[in-house]
């Protein structure tokens, strides 16, 4: 390699071909230009013929320079020039690559891939062996280790499967491994760091220096991974804490809240003050949306540490409070609802009102404080509500004790979990032999199991339960004398729970204790099916796990069960990665953020270590640019040759320029690729309505598709109320698809099966209501989708092999697509013979909109227009077929965006009747 500073040549030997340029000059100079045709009528010769004493026998000098420039561009391109070449690898030994691939490497992962690609190219040019090592433990638990000597190609193949892991790196394990390396010569060591410090960093750097010159690549703290800690359980607001590695300038970050089905619920802003390491983001969501939040993530900083998963423990459940005398019940320090309000307010959404009013809204718990008899209508409403999963929580008091019917009475029994004796039992006072009693330890089967019972909690009065066979099974708390204090019975999917004492200070000290708050918290959790640890369960199996980029994936075989222990914090690792553990009865979110105690930037390295950033000048290969320049100059040379021969003399300059443009490579409208910044991409995709198409990797197909979707967008703006901006070309798995109501997917025979990230992105898009149009783009291609009859159909099979594809059926004459905007009988594009296949859906499913549509009529080519608005492709049916194709596109977009409103035939007779009037 010849290094000239800013420019280097990977194949410098080919530069000797430049010495042949003088010989080429002489050869071209002596070669006469091609003869020119000249009309030679005899009359003109006789009228005025002036003999010329000289004729041009040599090529003009400016054409010589042009042709020498073409030859020079080709020679320089063959020498592979490099702009801003990477510094030549030092030492005589191998290239040693140390790559951080823990959770904190995910935000800069693309930078690392680019960096190690350039280093491997350099090693390949110098024919240097390569040793690679990743710092994070593997999924199978294998500790980090250095590889054997590899070629650059072998190292590139091994690193192609390397991805960030959702746990911290273990750099300390590589210290011993580095000491045991035995290399020939002095190595060039490059550490691709994630920029986050660990205790063994300095020792590892010193050990690597013994192998050869060490370069550490890192980035400024503003680009490093951030940590997100889940909100406080039961807090009054959904607020999360963000942590960054190092203070500095003020910085603004955003946190997104997603539902379990992937819907975006809201976004909160967090502002880091100058030098501050922490910031808070608070969501302002209604209680119904807040309780749907299952995943919080930092926008634009995707990593396992930037995600907080939520389970039932973070749900803020609505609780309704009702007392017979609402004004008296809320009196400070003496009312039945006063202590309940103070105990429940920190972790629930409290509501007040009548029973019917409370049950008319979503409600998890209904609290009745000293309520005696209920009307039959109220009792029926409560029973139906409990059967659906609600929890009725009743407290005793003078009214309830007085309402207990005598034995053998024909009165309607009270809505209680157990039968009660008449009256109440006093455990203290001058007229009682009994003294106030404390509580017995809670049984393991009780929802209160594990709660500590203070000695000062005493019950002075209670209502007694009638003895029965199942009384013991319905008792969740007892006094020390064995009498039930809390009883419960299941009702359908819900519960009926009774505290045999009052909710205020009149009958004991329980309502003014911390135990009262803990007991109510357990009961509120029970209203959603969570009761702490399931009985007899010591560990939960993995349900969904986070990968290094913070995306939920299926559990891998090496993942173990999550122990349900609070003895010591369990750090995430290969066996217990962050994610969701459990089953339907018990689900537990295991997050990485709260378990990372310290987040700091990479510390000072030992002397002699070179520290640089990923964002330096990138090495760029100029070969393609030089070949393009040679092609352009050759096109100009051809036009000049035609001009000198007189073949272009009659053309105007504008016509000649058009001819030159036709000789250049075909370039339709430029594709509008989405920005790399996810935040900017989301802003542009949501600020205006946009259609999107999938990039196939075939430039000619992508250009035509862009032109087609652009033409359809202009037709929509002219004929409908949809004003669509320029479409985006997207790549599933890299770009967020949820912003687009319709995704046009041209199928090419070259397309390969989707990788796991793309499969997950497409599956989520279809599951959340998106519509994908697969266009096979070939005449008579779709014959039944049951036999592989064409390359495009085979490609469609490969693309959808990992997706849960719904069954498809041909569009019938009454389908909504035939009348969404225009009345259609067929769906032509550039071709007209292919039938249209759609998913069969009901009107109550996704508003009757199919998630998958398959055609073969090449709609995009029929819609495609150039910048002047002229069609790019001719159609057999002419203007009529193109007009019908545009109508198909309008119907398609209206169908995807408005649903099945056209399928509603109920009001047609009334509309016709009004029109007749």
CATH of residue 165 = 3.40.50.410
Q: Could you tell me if residue 669 is inside a domain?
A: no
CATH number for the domain including 858?
A: 3.40.50.12140
Neighbours of 772 (CB within 10 A): 22
Please give the tally of structural domains in the chain.
4
* pLDDT computed for residue 801 by the predictor: 77
* pLDDT computed for residue 204 by the predictor: 92
Tokens for 64? 């010589």
Query: Residue 279: left (phi > 0), alpha (psi -120 to 50), or beta?
Result: beta
Q: 867: Cβ–Cβ under 8 A, 6 or more apart, which residues?
A: 669
- Is the whole model's pTM more than 0.75, yes or no? no
Strand partners of residue 562: 540
Q: Could you tell me if residue 371 is inside a domain?
A: yes
Q: Could you tell me if residue 29 is inside a domain?
A: no
Q: 28: Cβ–Cβ under 8 A, 6 or more apart, which residues?
A: 59, 63, 64, 67, 68
Q: Which long-range contacts (CB under 8 A, 24 or more apart) does 807-816 make?
A: 807/839, 807/840, 808/837, 808/838, 808/839, 808/840, 808/852, 808/854, 809/837, 809/838, 809/840, 810/835, 810/836, 810/837, 811/835, 811/836, 811/837, 811/838, 816/848, 816/895, 816/900, 816/902, 816/903
Q: Could you tell me if residue 422 is inside a domain?
A: yes
Q: Tell me how many helices (H) and strands (E) the chain has.
A: 23, 38
**465 CB burial (10 A radius; 0-12, 13-18, 19+):** buried
CATH number for the domain including 507?
A: 3.40.50.880
| Cα distance between residue 385 and residue 357, in whole Å | 13
3-class secondary structure per residue, 327-390: HHHCCCCCCHHHHHHHHHCCCCEEEECCHHHHHCCCCCEEEEECCCCCCHHHHHHHHHHHHCCC
Same domain membership, residue 159 and residue 254: no
* pLDDT computed for residue 592 by the predictor: 92
Same domain membership, residue 190 and residue 135: yes
* pLDDT computed for residue 430 by the predictor: 42
Tokens for 4? 């000239």
Same domain membership, residue 380 and residue 442: yes
Same domain membership, residue 880 and residue 847: yes
* pLDDT computed for residue 432 by the predictor: 44
Which is it for the CA torsion 781, 784, 789, 790, positive or negative? positive
Strand partners of residue 772: 743, 852
Q: 62: Cβ–Cβ under 8 A, 6 or more apart, which residues?
A: none
Q: Could you tell me if residue 104 is inside a domain?
A: yes
Low-confidence ranges of the chain (pLDDT < 70): 1-15, 27-59, 82-90, 220-222, 234-236, 326-327, 408, 410, 412, 424-434, 528-537, 565-569, 584-585, 615-621, 644-677, 779-789, 841-848, 899-917
* pLDDT computed for residue 781 by the predictor: 42
Q: Could you tell me if residue 653 is inside a domain?
A: no
From the list 761, 735, 678, the residue with the least C-alpha distance to 253 is 678
Same domain membership, residue 211 and residue 287: no
Q: Could you tell me if residue 643 is inside a domain?
A: no
| Cα distance between residue 193 and residue 200, in whole Å | 13
**270 CB burial (10 A radius; 0-12, 13-18, 19+):** buried
- Name the domain boundary from 588, 618, 648: 618
CA distances from 417 to 473, 495, 872 (A): 11, 9, 77
- What is the longest distance spanned by two Cα atoms in the chain? 153
* pLDDT computed for residue 263 by the predictor: 83
Same domain membership, residue 184 and residue 171: yes
- CA–CA–CA angle 491, 378, 373 (5° rounding): 95
Q: Could you tell me if residue 575 is inside a domain?
A: yes
Which residue segment(s) compose the domain that 291 sits in? Answer: 239-315+536-599
CA distances from 833 to 418, 811, 874 (A): 73, 14, 17
| Cα distance between residue 397 and residue 507, in whole Å | 8
Helix (H) or strand (E) holding 297: strand 293-298
Name the DSSP class of 479.
B
* pLDDT computed for residue 783 by the predictor: 42
CB distance 575 to 333 below 8 Å: no
Same domain membership, residue 244 and residue 183: no
Neighbours of 541 (CB within 10 A): 12
DSSP per-residue codes, 216-256: EEE--GGGS--EEEPPPTT-SSEEEEEE-S---S-EEEEEE
- Name the domain boundary from 494, 526, 558: 526
Same domain membership, residue 323 and residue 311: no
Same domain membership, residue 329 and residue 302: no
| Cα distance between residue 437 and residue 462, in whole Å | 11
| Cα distance between residue 101 and residue 895, in whole Å | 45
Same domain membership, residue 264 and residue 216: no
Q: 134: Cβ–Cβ under 8 A, 6 or more apart, which residues?
A: 99, 100, 101, 144, 162
| Cα distance between residue 411 and residue 419, in whole Å | 13
Same domain membership, residue 702 and residue 684: yes
Tokens for 673? 């690729």
Which is it for the CA torsion 888, 694, 876, 833, positive or negative? negative
Same domain membership, residue 740 and residue 775: yes
């Amino acid at each position: 390699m010849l290094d000239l500073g800013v420019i280097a040549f990977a194949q410098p030997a080919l530069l000797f071909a430049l010495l042949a340029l003088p010989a080429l000059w002489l050869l071209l100079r002596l070669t006469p230009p091609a003869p020119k045709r000249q009309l030679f009528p005899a009359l003109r010769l006789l009228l005025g013929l002036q003999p010329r004493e000289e004729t041009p026998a040599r090529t003009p000098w400016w054409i010589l320079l042009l042709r020498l420039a073409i030859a020079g561009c080709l020679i320089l391109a063959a020498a592979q020039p490099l702009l801003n070449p990477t510094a030549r690898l030092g030492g005589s030994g191998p290239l040693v690559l140390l790559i951080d691939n823990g959770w904190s490497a995910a935000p800069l992962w693309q930078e690392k891939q680019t960096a190690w690609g350039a280093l491997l190219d350099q090693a390949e040019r110098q024919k240097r062996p390569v040793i690679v090592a990743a710092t994070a433990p593997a999924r199978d638990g294998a500790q980090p280790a250095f590889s054997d000597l590899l070629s650059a190609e072998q190292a590139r193949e091994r690193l192609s499967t390397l991805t960030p892991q959702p746990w911290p790196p273990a750099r300390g394990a590589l210290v011993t491994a580095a000491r045991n390396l035995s290399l020939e010569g002095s190595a060039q060591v490059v550490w691709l760091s994630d920029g986050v410090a660990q205790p063994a960093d300095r020792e590892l750097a010193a050990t690597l220096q013994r192998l050869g010159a060490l370069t550490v690549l890192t980035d400024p703290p503003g680009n490093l991974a951030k940590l997100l800690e889940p909100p406080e359980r039961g807090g009054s607001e959904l607020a999360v804490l963000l942590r960054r590695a190092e203070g500095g300038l003020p910085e603004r970050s955003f946190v997104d809240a997603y539902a379990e089905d992937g819907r975006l619920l809201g976004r909160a802003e967090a502002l880091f003050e100058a030098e501050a390491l922490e910031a808070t983001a608070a969501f302002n969501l209604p209680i119904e949306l807040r309780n749907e939040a299952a995943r919080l993530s930092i926008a634009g900083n995707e990593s396992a540490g930037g995600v907080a998963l939520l389970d039932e423990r973070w749900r803020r459940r609505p609780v309704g409070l009702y007392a017979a005398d609402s004004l008296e019940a809320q009196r400070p320090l003496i009312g039945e609802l006063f202590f309940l309000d103070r105990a429940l307010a920190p972790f629930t959404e409290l509501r007040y009102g009548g029973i019917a009013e409370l049950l008319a809204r979503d409600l998890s718990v209904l609290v009745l404080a000293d309520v005696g008899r209920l009307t039959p209508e109220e009792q029926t409403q409560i029973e139906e509500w409990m059967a659906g999963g609600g929890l009725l929580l009743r407290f005793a008091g003078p009214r309830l004790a007085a309402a207990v019917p005598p034995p053998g009475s024909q009165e309607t029994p009270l809505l209680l979990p157990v039968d009660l004796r008449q009256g109440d039992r006093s455990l203290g006072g001058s007229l009682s032999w009994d003294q106030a009693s404390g509580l017995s330890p809670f049984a393991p089967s009780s929802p209160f199991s594990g709660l500590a019972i203070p000695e000062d909690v005493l019950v002075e009065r209670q209502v007694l339960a009638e003895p029965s066979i199942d009384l013991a099974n319905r008792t969740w708390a007892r006094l020390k004398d064995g009498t039930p204090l809390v009883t419960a019975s299941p009702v359908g999917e819900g519960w009926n729970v009774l505290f045999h004492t009052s909710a205020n200070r009149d009958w004991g000290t329980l309502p003014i204790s911390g135990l009262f708050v803990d007991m109510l918290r357990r009961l509120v959790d029970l209203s959603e099916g969570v009761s702490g640890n399931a009985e007899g369960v010591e560990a939960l199996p993995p349900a969904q796990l986070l990968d290094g980029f913070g995306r939920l994936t299926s559990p891998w075989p090496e993942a173990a069960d999550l122990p349900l222990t609070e003895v010591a914090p369990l750090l995430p690792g290969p066996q217990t990665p962050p994610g969701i553990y459990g089953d339907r009865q018990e689900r537990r979110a295991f997050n990485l953020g709260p378990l990372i105690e310290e987040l700091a930037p990479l510390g000072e390295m030992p002397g002699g270590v070179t520290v640089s950033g990923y964002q330096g000048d990138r090495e760029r290969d100029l070969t393609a640019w030089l070949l393009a320049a040679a092609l352009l100059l050759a096109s100009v040379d051809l036009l000049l040759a035609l001009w000198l021969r007189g073949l272009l003399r009659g053309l105007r300059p504008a016509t000649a320029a058009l001819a030159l443009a036709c000789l250049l490579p075909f370039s339709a409208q430029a594709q509008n690729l989405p920005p790399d910044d996810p935040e900017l991409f989301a802003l542009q995709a949501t600020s205006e309505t946009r259609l999107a198409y999938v990039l196939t990797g075939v430039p000619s197909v992508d250009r035509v598709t862009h032109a087609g979707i652009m033409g359809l967008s202009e037709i929509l703006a002219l004929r409908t109320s949809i004003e669509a901006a320029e479409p985006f070309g997207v790549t599933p798995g890299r770009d967020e698809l949820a912003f687009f109501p319709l995704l046009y997917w041209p199928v090419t025979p070259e397309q390969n099966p989707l990788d796991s990230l793309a499969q997950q992105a497409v599956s989520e898009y279809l599951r959340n209501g998106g519509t994908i149009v697969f266009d096979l783009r070939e005449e008579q291609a779709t014959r039944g989708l049951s036999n592989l009859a064409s390359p495009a159909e085979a490609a469609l099979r490969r693309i959808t092999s990992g997706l849960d594809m719904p069954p498809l059926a041909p569009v019938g004459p009454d389908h909504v697509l035939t009348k969404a905007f225009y009345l259609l009988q067929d769906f032509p594009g550039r071709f007209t013979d292919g039938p249209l296949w759609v998913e069969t859906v009901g009107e109550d499913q996704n508003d009757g909109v199919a998630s998958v549509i398959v055609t073969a009529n090449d709609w995009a080519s029929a819609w495609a227009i150039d910048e002047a608005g002229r069609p790019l492709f001719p159609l057999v049916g002419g203007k009529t077929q193109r007009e019908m194709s545009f109508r198909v596109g309008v119907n398609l977009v209206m169908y995807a965006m408005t649903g099945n409103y056209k399928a509603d035939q109920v009001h047609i007779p009334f509309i016709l009747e009004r029109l007749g009037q």
